[in-house]
Structure 1
């Protein structure tokens, strides 16, 4: 066999070898458990806010141990939203059409809803943001080191609007949405 042919064969096999070493994606996490893990992450982030990341000698930053433990629990329990989890997002948007959230039930203080953490970068964040904005919600995303982009919608101002936002998130592929008191970014 000629050297060129061997190199072509090796180059063709390298991607296959690389894929074999990737860890399998954990199965989709239990929504109730994921909500608890997200809330633990929120607590760790708020407790260690000034010290969330520590500088290293090489100029990079690392998460504090508490935040790292919370991040690892979210990852290992399958609580992240991947591109595959959003496969029906655009068709759902077309089915629902544009609309506005309905305020109903008892009033509540303006509340943000943590929808989930997207692993597909700005592309998935853009898709999800466009979906929720078409449904009448303001949106914000925040980067979370080691995890992806956290997506928040709102504000909701009634129990009915909160329930509606959480149900819409679940229908869109985010089964672990919850009201977040950690993050307030709207002018009330």
Structure 2
């Protein structure tokens, strides 16, 4: 996949804080590394998707809302009520409309990088996990998350979804059906593997 990463980097530098820009670079590098490790995705495509995953993260709430509501992708009621997830949906629509990105796999990777979904492609899994394990992440349990992700994308996804659901439950937050369906899919895979 041929993309002018420098122009996207320049846009991100102008629209993100230094800390968020560095996170985006780290996710880009982690995405490319996971693509190379598992050999299931073009590393350059993974690098691009990782770089732009937070393209809308620091846009004002009204801008994110407008982009999100234009999205042709399934946006559920729980997501519309959860500002923290708007940027993924908004970012995918911005990339489609403003930057003319036509690769649906990249658009889905950006759109679902916070909530996950059932039937995620390898690229979607890679960006979701790269966001969880990027170099600057230092939350309790991140080393275990990195270890699981290095074992397999499925093991990483299961661990990441469990952690995500625990966090949402702890906060008393609404849980998008996409996240529940993703968890059920990976839990079923794990049960089948173990038994």
TM-score by length of 2: 0.24
Q: Relative contact order (alpha carbons < 8 A, sep ≥ 6): 1 or 2 greater?
A: 1
Which structure has more helix as a fraction of its residues? Answer: 2
Structure showing greater Rg: 1
